[in-house]
């Protein structure tokens, strides 16, 4: 009897997993910057490479040029899948006059994925400034949802913001993690709204 019940449960699980259709490869409009595209470009990539990778020329939102000064820069904004999201890439002119990626920012326009495992006040109080990203994820029981990411090599300011759901559909736990020189991510700031 146990075998029949186990087989029935396995079938139900298989059916429930297969019933969730994966989005078609072309479901994301080509001009939209995806997270994989964002993470695939790096400091030093040319503006042409970034535009080709993103499939979009972007919109110039800021530019600074001056003769005789080596820090000319331009900022381009690109759309994300969500209307409230954006990607900004800052380029500087290198010694040969080519615009190259200097800093990139992403605000995905997402909120935490509503999982069964909700962040609690007790868990929030256990996570302190200086704790690792792995400790926070282990404490909350899920990876959370990456809300934004800043990659600014040379400025000692790489930052990732991760959100976890709470029992209230309006609540959230939000942690900012800064990247240390060792490469580890540590809690910089934390906030919660219990709704």
Give me the residue spans of the domains in the chain: 35-103, 121-193
Where do we find the tokens 């990659």? 151
For residue 46, CA distances in Å to 64, 90, 98, 170, 174 come to 18, 11, 7, 41, 34
Counting every residue written for the chain, the total comes to 195
Nearest C-alpha neighbor of 190 from the set 133, 111, 134, 105: 133
What is the pLDDT at residue 37?
92
Residue 44 near residue 95, CB atoms below 8 Å: no
CA-to-CA distance for 141 and 10, rounded, in angstroms? 24
What is the pLDDT at residue 20?
32
Mean pLDDT by 10 residues, the chain (195 residues): 34 34 43 88 94 91 76 86 87 88 88 83 96 96 90 74 91 91 90 91
Nearest C-alpha neighbor of 81 from the set 28, 38, 39, 37: 28
CA-to-CA distance for 182 and 169, rounded, in angstroms? 36
What is the pLDDT at residue 64?
86
CA-to-CA distance for 176 and 187, rounded, in angstroms? 6
Domain 121-193, what architecture? 2-Layer Sandwich (3.30)
What is the pLDDT at residue 154?
60
Residue 170 near residue 176, CB atoms below 8 Å: no
What is the pLDDT at residue 159?
87
């Amino acid at each position: 009897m146990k075998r029949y019940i186990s087989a029935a449960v396995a079938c139900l699980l298989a059916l429930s997993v297969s019933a969730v259709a994966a989005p078609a490869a072309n479901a994301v409009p080509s001009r939209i910057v995806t997270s994989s595209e964002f993470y695939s470009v790096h400091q030093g990539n040319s503006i042409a490479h970034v535009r080709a990778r993103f499939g979009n020329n972007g919109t110039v939102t800021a530019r600074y040029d001056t003769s005789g000064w080596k820090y000319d820069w331009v900022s381009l904004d690109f759309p994300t899948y969500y209307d409230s999201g954006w990607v900004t890439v800052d380029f500087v002119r290198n010694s040969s006059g080519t615009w190259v990626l200097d800093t990139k920012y992403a605000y995905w326009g997402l909120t935490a994925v509503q999982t069964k495992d909700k962040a609690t006040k007790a868990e929030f109080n256990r996570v302190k400034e200086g704790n690792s990203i792995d400790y926070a994820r282990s404490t909350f029981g899920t990876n959370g949802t990456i809300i934004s990411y800043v990659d600014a090599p040379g400025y000692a300011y790489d930052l990732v913001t991760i959100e976890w759901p709470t029992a209230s559909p309006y609540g959230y736990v939000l942690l900012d993690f800064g990247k240390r020189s060792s490469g580890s991510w540590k809690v910089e700031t934390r906030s919660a709204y219990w709704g």
